[in-house]
Structure formats: structure tokens, C-alpha cells
Amino acid sequence: MASRNPARPLSPHLTIWRWGPHMLVSILHRATGDGLATVGTLLFVWWLAALAGGAESYATFVDTFTTDTGKLNILGWIVGVGLTLSLFQHMMTGIRHFFLDIGAGYELRTNKTWAMMTMVGAVVLSIGYWLYMGMN
């Protein structure tokens, strides 16, 4: 592949456009997806491997994210809330993409509304999930 000629003009990018919810959720979809794919994957695989490895390795995993009383520590909260928010945001924007894929929801107002609703949905579902976990 020939290298790109730096003298050629670039298409307008983030610094040119006025920001709107559709841009934000598009970037959030990528950022949360990549976060889940890297941090999420490593944690999930660590949890599975620790569980398969035995009581000792599982204790190491649990102790990393909890205090002696069994409650989540600071790291546990950051990782836990970060992952649930990311997962629900990616899930909501993913569902939005299914609608966009069939050609629906491109009208300016509709698009803006549902872009914002994905963020509202992600926050509400995350809070709901943690409240349920807390009551359990």
C-alpha cells in the first residue's frame, strides 16, 4: 500500500462539526465496545480461570475487588460500575444501530431523541441493576 500523501486534504472530522447527541453516542458505542472487548474480556477470562483454578485462585480474584467484609472496594466499584455502564450503553446503541440499519430513525428530531435515549437507558439500567444486586 502506498503511503498517504500528507499534503492531500482530509475529510471534515470531529473538530469541524458542531457536536450533537448522534456524534456522542456513535463515539460512545466505539469506546464502550473497545473497553468491553479489552478490559471486560480480561476480567471475564480471569474470573473463569480463577474459578477453574480452585478456591485459592478464586480468593485472589475476589480479594482484588472486595474488602475483608465482602463488600466491593474502590477498585471493585470503579470496574463494576464502569463495565455495567459500558455494557448497557453499548447494548442500547447497538439496538439503535439495528433500527438505523433498516433505514429507520434518520429524521433529525427522531435521531436526536433516540440518541439521547440510549444514554438515559444505559444510566437507568445500570442503576436498576445495582439496586437489584444490592437488595439481593
Partner 1 sequence: MGSGTQLGRVRGLGSAKEGAHHWLWQRFTAASNLFLMLWLLIAVARQPAYDYASMRLWVQSAWVAVPMLLLIASVFYHFRLGLQVLIEDYTHNESRVVSMLALNLFVLVTAGIAIFSILKIAFGAAA
63 vs 106, which CB is nearer to partner 1?
63
Which CB sits closer to partner 1, 17 or 136?
136
Euclidean distance between CA atoms 92 and 71, whole angstroms = 29
Verify binding: residue 5, partner 1, rule CB under 8 A. no
CA distance linking residue 114 with residue 100, whole number of Å: 11
Which residues 74-103 are close enough to bind partner 1 by CB under 8 A? 87, 91, 94-95, 97-98, 101
Enclosing H/E stretch for 94: helix 74-101
Which 8-state DSSP code applies to residue 12? P
As measured in angstroms, the least distance from the Cβ of 90 to partner 1 is 9
Backbone angles phi, psi at 72, to 5 degrees: -65, 140
Residues 105-134 vs partner 1: string with x where CB under 8 A?
A: ------------------------x--xx-
Measured CA distances, 69 to 60, 75, 107, 130 (Å) = 15, 15, 52, 18
Which own/partner pairs from 59-68 qualify as long-range (CB within 8 Å, at least 24 positions apart)?
Answer: none
33 sits near partner 1 (criterion: CB under 8 A): yes
Q: Which residues lie near partner 1 (CB under 8 A)?
A: 1-4, 30, 33-34, 36-38, 41-42, 44-45, 48-49, 51-55, 58-59, 62, 87, 91, 94-95, 97-98, 101, 129, 132-133, 136
